[in-house]
Amino acid sequence: MLFEPYKLEQLQLNNRIVMPPMTRARSAVGEVATELMAEYYAQRASAGLIISEGTQISRQGQGYAWTPGIYTPEQIKGWKTVTDAVHKAGGKMFAQLWHVGRISHTSLQENGEAPVAPSAILAKGVKVYVPKQNADAQSGQGEMVQHSMPRELTIPEIQQIIQTYAQAAKNAIAAGFDGVELHAANGYLLEQFTDSQTNLRTDEYGGTLEKRLRFLKEVTTAVSEAIGSHRVGVRQAPLTTQMGAVDDNPEETYIAAARMLNEIGVAYIHIAEADWEDAPVMAPAFKEAYREAFKGTLIYSGKYSRERAHEALKNGWADLIGFGRPFIANPDLPYRLENGLPLNAPIIEKFFGAGPEGYTDYPTYHGSKMAV
């Protein structure tokens, strides 16, 4: 099943393998996607669907050095180079729209301002990647530092961010993307509003579950109205506690969110399973509840092997499977999986930073037929 074609709304995918979003911190000055990034993604166009690395919707939405944006004409033009290369190689690609919320640093914010969040809560020990002091802008030399103390968003600011998401979606379509994925996982802004321990508001955007889901609902609705719900996916991480985002009742919260997204009619939900050692396991009953609540396409990512992927597809939990880190080191991953071939190991110290090393220089397997 993994290697069979799949129709995602109006988009025909060559297989059920997804390259999920992975930050690589290689954008140019101005947070512009580059020719090198175009080469990287085109190398991996044999995936049924590529979802871009997190792409900030505004300067305020940036939380790490050298991550690309989609809010200026130069950024749109840069991404057009990438999508053209992917489409030429036979691939399909969505842009992941990203606002990090509190997970940022004053050095990345305009005029050194504080990051924003639903509530002014610091996630202790949560670090962001910023340029080293006095480092050249394109050196890729960065360091991990504690994120800065955030301030609480006002309601007018929340409403402005909703419109910024909608504009970013329009920009993504102008840049040639086939659709967008809203990053509502891993402790960033959309999840900060959703989870009970990061949203302590008492107004219409916090308190009850319905009010905590309001921001996600309004963003998703605005984006769907801007580009069509068939072009919209949403990423969630119900059991992941990254970046200090924790919900007291994740199954109740995220199944309610799934029902809401089903009513809006988005194309897919992309579920990021917790993938660290001793991580909580997402039980089959939880996955079956997702399937019951959401009638569209379900994508799962998180330490999937070929065997585990087939199990998820066979059981009906998933329609598509994301393979993250294996795609970093194996541009021809679908070919290797289909033929039971060994995988290259990724160079971890080259995950972030400048240049082609550990990025576009991984070899394909002998005999792999790739369009690059």
Catalytic sites, residue numbers: 188
In the three-class reduction of DSSP (H, G, I as helix; E, B as strand; rest coil), residue 246 is classed as coil
- Measure the CA–CA gap between 309 and 72, rounded to whole angstroms: 38
Burial of 208 (0-12, 13-18, 19+ CB in 10 A): exposed
Query: For residue 23, which of 45, 69, 55, 48 has the smallest C-alpha distance?
Result: 55
Q: Distance (Å, rounded) from C-alpha 360 to C-alpha 151?
A: 39
* Residues whose CB falls within 8 Å of the CB of residue 179, separated by 6 or more in sequence, listed in order: 11, 94, 95, 172, 227, 230, 231, 232, 233, 267
The token pair that represents 235 in the structure block: 């990423």
Nearest to 31 by CA among 81, 3, 78, 68: 68
Please give the DSSP secondary-structure letter assigned to residue 32. Answer: B
User: What 3-state class would DSSP assign to 195?
Assistant: coil
Dihedral in degrees, nearest 10, Cα atoms 257, 261, 267, 270:
-10
